[in-house]
Amino acid sequence: MCADGSYTWYCKGHGGRKQCPCDSPYMCKVNTCGSEQKEHCCEKSCDGFGGIRDCDGQPEIEPTGEPVMPVPAPTPAPTPVPPVPTLAPTAAPTPAPEPMVVPKKSSSAGEENAKKPVTTDVYIGKNNKKKAKSKTVNKRVICASNAGDKGIRVNTDHKNAGDTFKITTVMSGKDKTKITVKRTDKKKKGKKKGKRNKKWGMKLKLRCVEA
């Protein structure tokens, strides 16, 4: 869970990671996890991850087991009241209805989303200008900074091209996200060898996650 209450592993733009899930309950000091490797890691044990993250500057000690809730004392049964004698026979008492059992709910939608983020593909396309290309989509998404690199981008053309990109995402409204793509690799041939490429010819498509 992120600082702003969002249930997602990707807490960039949401105030950072605040709480770990039940299957990896301990937040460790090491902050090399997440899409940008800047989030504190959530693990079943913080051995090898720098120990448990300090709380308000105070060192924490990893507990040896799950906390045990005290068992409440049984409530004493009420003292029975003797029946009032009567001359006429009384009708048999109506049996009390069986208690209704409410089935336990399965894991909440927020927990399901935290375990399995919803992905969305964003089409950026070609860039014929000597500057970064920006696109605004009508939903809140987060794209990894290397989402346009080889083996990560999802466009089918130029799959093996060595182009590298820097991706930045900025929330620009309640349901809008501005995505900016800047090419970062340098030319290897010609008179301008070593100068950074700016244009690209592939129909670039990025795989992001909904925020």
The model's pLDDT over 137-161, given as tens digits with 9 standing for 90+, comes to 999 999 999 999 999 999 999 989 9
The model's pLDDT over 20-54, given as tens digits with 9 standing for 90+, comes to 888 888 888 887 787 777 787 888 888 888 788 87
DSSP lists the bridge partners of residue 136 as 178
- Between residues 10 and 207, the one the model is more confident about: 207
Whole-model pTM over 0.75: no
Q: How far apart are CA 109 and CA 209, in angstroms?
A: 16
pLDDT score of 109 more than 60: no
What strand order describes the sheet that includes 165-173?
A: 133-137, 176-183, 165-173
**25: amino acid identity, one letter:** P
The model's pLDDT over 11-27, given as tens digits with 9 standing for 90+, comes to 777 777 778 888 888 88
**pLDDT confidence of 102, banded at 50, 70, 90?**
very low
* Average pLDDT of span 85-104: 58
| Range scoring the smallest mean pLDDT among 15-29, 57-71, 79-93, 108-122 | 57-71
Contacts of 158 (CB under 8 A, 6+ apart): 201, 202
pLDDT score of 123 more than 60: yes
Mean pLDDT of the chain: 79
pLDDT score of 129 more than 90: yes
Percentage of residues in the chain having pLDDT higher than 70: 75
Q: Please give the pLDDT value at position 191.
A: 61
pLDDT score of 103 more than 60: no
Q: Please give the pLDDT value at position 27.
A: 84
Instruction: Give per-residue burial for 123-158: e unless 16+ CB within 10 Å, then b.
Output: ebeebeeeeebeeebeebbbbbebbbbeeebebeee
Reduce the DSSP state of residue 111 to 3 states and report it. helix
